[in-house]
Structure formats: structure tokens, C-alpha cells
Structure 1
Amino acid sequence: MVSVLFVCLGNICRSPMAEAIFRDLVKKEGLEGKIKIDSAGTGDWHIGHPPHQGTRDILKKYQVSDEGILARQIVSEDLGQFDYIIGMDDQNITNIQKLGDIPSHVKVKRLMDFVEDSTQKEVPDPYYTGKFDEVYELVTAGCSRLLEEIKTELSHEGK
């Protein structure tokens, strides 16, 4: 099983959006039993809260479920529990790296690193910008490309 953790600052806008979109894509590919998906924030302000209303609204618009997603904070134990730890921006990556030693098999990347032809390398925080539509487009592109990489990985491993 391949495991993916999406990380942003508070785990109420970008990373739960990525978790929901990625879950939807994985389900459409029939890979639910092969890919574990979660999200977390580097901060602790929103622990236990559902996604931001703007995130819920944009997901509802595109008929993507956010059921069961509640904010949590990333902890050092997560570093050894996931194959992919995906930050939304450079600060998220820095905060992830500060948690401790990251096992060599773990890929810590920004989501937009998977979209090679994108001029945008960070997913802006809609908590501050209000641009949930833009974030949805970026996250969808990043999640689609990430899934393609994981599908290739799964086919090479014969899982």
C-alpha cells in the first residue's frame, strides 16, 4: 500500500481539499485498497474542525465529498508512516523537515512539483486570498499528476 499525507498550515483549506480530491480520483480509478490518504496541518489552531466553508463549498460545487475530514496537526511519527508527504508551499516543507529525521524512502515534495509545466510552484493559501477556485484548479492538477506517478509505481511493484 502506498500512503500519502497532504500538509498545509492549518489543515482546513488546502490539504483537506487535496485529501478530498485525491480520494475522489483514487476511488474513480478503483485504487482505494492500494492507497492510504490523509491530511494534516503544521499548526494546531484548527484541530478537530471540519474544512473551511470555502473549501467545503468548492468541493460541493464539483461533487467531491469531504466526509470524515477533520483537522489534525502533523507529528514526528507521521514521518515514518507515509511514503509521500506533500506540502502546499515552501514553508510547509520547511516545517515538515523540522519535525525530525525523514526516512530515505519518504518523498517530501510540494504538490506543484508534480505539475512540471506549471509556472506556479506553490499553492496559495485561500484562507488569506479567498481564491478557492484557483486553489481547486491547482490542487486538482497536482493530485492528478501525483496519482499518475503512484500508478506507475504500483505497476512496477506489481501491487
Structure 2
Amino acid sequence: MMTKVLFVCMGNICRSPSAEGVFRHLLNEAGLADVVGIDSAGTHNFHVGEAPDARAIAAARKRGYEIGHGHARQITAEDFREYDLILAMDWENLSALQQQCPKLHQHKLMLMMRFANEFEEATVPDPYYGGPEGFSKVLDYLEDACQGVLELVRKRATQYQAA
């Protein structure tokens, strides 16, 4: 049985595609890409159909992550049913998700930084209106939190294999 993880930010052009790229890289390294499904989405429709922000692509590429292949999309009602973990980058997006999500699936909604081990910040800051250093900081946070998410999905995959 596949575990499915959805990363969510506001417009789906900076933080969530970056999280998807970092996590995809970690899954490939761990040999779990075939048992964990991932995607990203935005809570708003500001950038639907657009490629990730060029600054996010450049920052990710410097660290060996590829994020330029996707296009922004807005979260759908299906996503709440389909995904096992829906990880919001900040409080505003978590709140937007909570308002849209049926009660039955509310337990799937969490802040991304809940899985961080190194950084104590509660949220991944939006780098959109800043300079390149903001995109680098986002990647620092995402690399940390994605390691924690990887630990969780690895445990789930092991439990499914044992069953």
C-alpha cells in the first residue's frame, strides 16, 4: 500500500515544489520512490499552470534538486481523500486547509516543520518577496523537515511490508 504526501503553500511556485523536489530526492536515495507518492499544491489559484519560481529552481539546482518540471495547481477536494499527509508550510495555509478539509480528513493536515529535528521554527517562511538568501533558508528548513517525513514514511512502508 502506497503512502501519499502532499506539500502545500500559498501559490505552489516556491515552497511546496521545493519540498516536493527535496523529498523526491530523499525518496530516491532511500529506495522508497515506488512506495511513496508525492505532489504539491497551493491553497490559492494565483499561479495555476505556471512553472515554479525561477529563483526557487536556481536555489534547488545548486543543491542538486530538480523542481522545474511541474506546474502550479490549487488543492482539490479529491486531495483530502487521496493523500495520507497534507503538509502546510505555514499557519495561514494550514488554516486555509482546515477550512476546506472535511472533518473526516482533518487528521491528515499538519505543519511541515512539525517534522524538523534541527530547526525549531514552526513554519517555512515565504521567500517570494525577498532575495536569494530566503530561498536558501527555505531549503535548509525543508531538508531538515523532509528527513523527518522520510523517517515516518519509511516506518509506514516497513509496517506494510511486514503485514
Q: Which residue of 1 is the match for residue 69 of structure 2?
A: 68
Conservation of the 8 A alpha-carbon contact between 1:85 and 1:106:
no
Q: Which residue of 2 is the match for residue 113 of structure 1?
A: 114
- Which 5+ residue runs of structure 2 have no aligned equivalent? none
Conservation of the 8 A alpha-carbon contact between 1:82 and 1:106:
no
SS at match of 1:3: strand
- Please tell me the residue identity of whatever aligns with 1:100: C
Which of these residues, 123, 135, 139, is aligned with residue 132 of structure 1?
135
Q: Which residue of 2 is the match for residue 149 of structure 1?
A: 152
Q: How far does residue 31 in structure 1 lie from its aligned partner after superposition?
A: 1.0
Aligned counterparts of 1:73 and 1:10: Cα–Cα separation in 2? 8
TM-score by length of 1: 0.93
Alignment of 1:1-150 (within 5 A): 1-104=2-105, 106-116=107-117, 118-130=119-131, 131-150=134-153
Distance 1:38 1:106, change over 3 A: farther
Aligned counterparts of 1:44 and 1:103: Cα–Cα separation in 2? 24
SS at match of 1:6: strand
Aligned counterparts of 2:22 and 2:108: Cα–Cα separation in 1? 20
Distance 1:26 1:114, change over 3 A: same
Q: How far does residue 17 in structure 1 lie from its aligned partner after superposition?
A: 0.2
Q: How far does residue 102 in structure 1 lie from its aligned partner after superposition?
A: 4.3
Distance 1:117 1:68, change over 3 A: closer
Q: Which of the pair is proportionally richer in helix?
A: 2
- Which 5+ residue runs of structure 1 have no aligned equivalent? none
TM-score by length of 2: 0.91
Q: How far does residue 18 in structure 1 lie from its aligned partner after superposition?
A: 0.3
